Structure 1
Amino acid sequence: MAAWVLHVDLDQFIAAVEVLRRPELAGRPVVVGGSGDPTRRAVVATASYEAREFGVHSGLPLRLAARRCPDAVFLPADAPAYDAASAEVMAALREFDVVVEVLGWDEAFLGATTDDPEALAADLARAVLDRTRLHLSVGIGDNKLRAKLATGFAKPAGVYRLTRDNWFEVMGGRPTEALWGIGRRTAAKLADLGLHTVRELAAADERVLARRFGPTMGPWYRTLGLGAGGTEVTASPYVARSRSRETTFQEDLTEPAEIGAAVATLARRVARDVAAEGRPAARVAVKVRFAPFFTHTRSRTLPAPTSDPDELERAAGEVLALFELTRPVRLLGVRAEFPAP
């Protein structure tokens, strides 16, 4: 029997959980985010497929979502409900002879040995649906990268296989941004080098990429273009790489003193989270979203890992000083990053 990596992704997970709690919402555009009030500042956590048809997507400001889809039902996020639903899904997956590596509420990698991965995928989807009434999509790959990307072709509630055999047939002509690990900005930099498609990236000169992106990231981007990736799936419990807090202000902050005070408050909250984690932080980052919607992040490595609230607050203040606070501020965030295991 052959070894496979499967990637399971619950379809419109948060919205689906809310519809199960409120069956009368089935078939209607549902948007979840913030307090559920689209007149207040917050962003979309998830949107049902019906809402997505109107251009509503994760990260979109709720006010804009309401303009795009005025008939949508807006609901507040309920993390405990999503925790419980996710736990039920993962329990159903663990009943199979597979290794389950949880990635988040709504997705996981599975390591499996089977001669018929499509049949296994169908069984997994059926078991989750029977137990939780939630639909999932399954990507099948010969490594994690291909399995993850395959899920996108499987949605909604389907199964898709992406391997070395069909990699360039499926992905070759797609833009580099279609790759897991390459975002819009990196894709633009690759385009400046004349690399627009996955196939072009796979054929690129590693020396050219290394000069542009560095000796580590440059060759790694070419590896992504080839569809190469890790195959190890581990059942080790998820270990958080960071703890963060952020606040969206209903009215913009304009005074440096009030901005600094807000960052200090967030840093103290993060410090409590770090203490509860039982691991010291090695790096502190501050996120600032300026009006109307420009987001920037700065960070610095601490002299030594620490859990001390005063040190973390001081570091956050020092990072904030790296920003030019010349525009009104609508959101602030502080993140403490843990050392690599």
Structure 2
Amino acid sequence: MSSSARRIAHLDMDAFYASVELLRYPDLRGQAVVIGGGRNAVPEDLPDGTRRYARLRDYAGRGVVTTSTYEARALGVFSAMGMMKAAKLAPDAILLPTDFDAYRRYSGLFKAAVRSFTEQIEDRGIDEIYIDLTDIDGEARDVAARIKAAVNAATGLTCSICVAPNKLLAKIGSELDKPDGLTILTPADIPTRIWPLAARKVNGIGPKAAEKLAAIGIETVGQLAEADIALLQAHFGRNYASWLAEVANGRDERQVVVSSEPKSMSRETTFERDLHPRGDRPVLSEQFTRLCMRVAEDLRRKGYVGRTVGIKLRFDDFHTVTRDLTLTAHTADGATIRHGATECLKRIPLERRIRLLGVRVSALIPAADQGDDPAPVQEELRFDAEPDSPVFR
């Protein structure tokens, strides 16, 4: 089937973690709220029936922002930003702790609501999915509106959804009219709605790639679509240049992958700035541990255990390296995954700044089939605490 005949939706929950918290604390609606605090950020119920909330200015530590409300984002506070930096931008913002149990519960509710329409769903994480609507009767806008209404009825939350000919355009489109957006994109909309966007709005073009494009005079998707392929190849290599040319013109033939037996689960993050393996060790440690814990949470939530742990590093020169390690037993334990990922890390010379870090667990089996695998070994969570470790050269 040609991409023009397909109807692919991308559904993204609006400020998901923060929105779940606002259901619990409705008095915070309309305020700048940051999620990512620890126990000290738990609201205090006062005798007069009011609550005392922690403020971002009082935070001390090396944590990162999990998410923020749109009011906090307007002040420059975004997910994965260091808390101390966020505190300088929005010192009066309310700080709340994360509650992943609640987020997983609401994630299950919104996905169940969508499955009442179709099982053709690709799960992309706790707060977003792709949906193949090709075989669902009705106008795209009507179907999308009904899905949004079902999600709201099930959760009390809003989502933004875009229906487009492919996953690429659907992903971009779901951001265009947030929050509570409903967007329809066709190939005819590419020049007016996609080409004016900054190149970094395309999923897969990160901050560093956007900088390299800007250095050769390409800042928008439209300029990328008009760029000479030889110029792109000279700066990005043949494969990445070919991909850039395709996505700039809105072409993407990937299918919505509906699989009940995933082969792997992974989490990765691209840093706001390239991090030095030694100089930025505390930030790397925080992010590395967080990724391992998130993968472990994904495994447990979906009922799987894995035996092969892998890491992915992309350096400031765009060189990407992966390493894998097979464990002695299947696991969904975050500390065990962290230990295996650290062993993988030790096999990579860290001589350049790091722009992307990822953790993956593969060789999955259902947790119910784990049998008599030995219990996971609890390991201390650290990111090479020894200053003279050969991991950092």
Q: TM-score range by the shorter chain?
A: 0.7 to 0.9
Does the residue aligned with 1:318 lie in a helix, a strand or coil?
coil
Shift, 1:215, TM fit: 2.1
Does the residue aligned with 2:81 lie in a helix, a strand or coil?
coil
Contact 1:8–1:108, Cα closer than 8 Å, also in 2: yes
Does the residue aligned with 1:44 lie in a helix, a strand or coil?
coil
Match in the other structure for 1:49 = 70
Equivalence map 1:190-229=2 (5 Å) = 190-229=213-252
Does the residue aligned with 1:96 lie in a helix, a strand or coil?
coil
Give the partner amino acid of 2:24: R
Does the residue aligned with 1:7 lie in a helix, a strand or coil?
strand
Equivalence map 1:25-40=2 (5 Å) = 25-35=28-38, 36=41, 38-40=59-61
Contact 1:14–1:82, Cα closer than 8 Å, also in 2: yes
Contact 2:167–2:252, Cα closer than 8 Å, also in 1: yes
Question: Which residue among 352, 359, 379 is the counterpart of 1:335?
Answer: 359
Match in the other structure for 2:21 = 18
Does the residue aligned with 2:132 lie in a helix, a strand or coil?
strand
Give the partner amino acid of 2:347: E
Equivalence map 1:94-113=2 (5 Å) = 94-97=115-118, 99-113=120-134
Match in the other structure for 1:291 = none
Shift, 1:216, TM fit: 1.3
Shift, 1:136, TM fit: 0.6
Give the partner amino acid of 1:222: A
Q: Over the residues paired in the alignment, what is the CA RMSD in angstroms?
A: 3.7
Does the residue aligned with 1:138 lie in a helix, a strand or coil?
strand
Q: Output the CA distance in 1 between the equivalents of 2:164 and 2:259.
A: 21
Q: Output the CA distance in 2 between the equivalents of 1:244 and 1:165.
A: 33
Name whichever of 7-16 and 47-56 sits farther off: 47-56
Match in the other structure for 1:121 = 144
Match in the other structure for 2:155 = 132
Provide the identity percentage: 30
Q: Output the CA distance in 1 between the equivalents of 2:68 and 2:267.
A: 25
Q: Measured at CA, do residues 192 and 65 of structure 1 come closer, stay the same or move farther in structure 2, by a change above 3 Å?
A: closer
- 1:322 matched to 2:343? The reply is no
Match in the other structure for 2:389 = none
Question: Which residue among 301, 307, 312 is the counterpart of 2:323?
Answer: 301
Name whichever of 236-245 and 15-24 sits farther off: 236-245
Give the partner amino acid of 1:27: G
Match in the other structure for 1:143 = 166
Contact 1:243–1:337, Cα closer than 8 Å, also in 2: no
- 1:280 matched to 2:308? The reply is yes
Does the residue aligned with 1:223 lie in a helix, a strand or coil?
helix
- Give the TM-score normalised by structure 2: 0.67
Q: Output the CA distance in 1 between the equivalents of 2:112 and 2:231.
A: 47
1:205-231 Cα offsets, whole Å, 9 max, x none, are 323322322221111011111011135
Q: Measured at CA, do residues 203 and 74 of structure 1 come closer, stay the same or move farther in structure 2, by a change above 3 Å?
A: same
Q: Output the CA distance in 1 between the equivalents of 2:71 and 2:225.
A: 37
Q: Output the CA distance in 2 between the equivalents of 1:97 and 1:254.
A: 49
Contact 2:196–2:221, Cα closer than 8 Å, also in 1: yes
Shift, 1:192, TM fit: 3.0
Shift, 1:180, TM fit: 1.9
Q: Output the CA distance in 2 between the equivalents of 1:240 and 1:232.
A: 18
Give the partner amino acid of 1:65: A
Q: Measured at CA, do residues 54 and 311 of structure 1 come closer, stay the same or move farther in structure 2, by a change above 3 Å?
A: closer
Name whichever of 88-97 and 63-72 sits farther off: 63-72
Q: Measured at CA, do residues 126 and 242 of structure 1 come closer, stay the same or move farther in structure 2, by a change above 3 Å?
A: closer
Does the residue aligned with 1:91 lie in a helix, a strand or coil?
helix
Unaligned runs of 5+ residues in structure 2 are 42-57, 270-276, 329-335, 364-393
Shift, 1:191, TM fit: 2.6
- Matched residue pairs, number? 306
- Give the TM-score normalised by structure 1: 0.77
Shift, 1:51, TM fit: 1.6
Unaligned runs of 5+ residues in structure 1 are 246-252, 289-293, 326-332
Shift, 1:313, TM fit: 5.1
Contact 1:19–1:26, Cα closer than 8 Å, also in 2: yes
Shift, 1:311, TM fit: 7.6
Does the residue aligned with 1:166 lie in a helix, a strand or coil?
helix
Q: Measured at CA, do residues 232 and 314 of structure 1 come closer, stay the same or move farther in structure 2, by a change above 3 Å?
A: closer
Q: Output the CA distance in 1 between the equivalents of 2:77 and 2:341.
A: 37
Q: Output the CA distance in 2 between the equivalents of 1:135 and 1:220.
A: 33
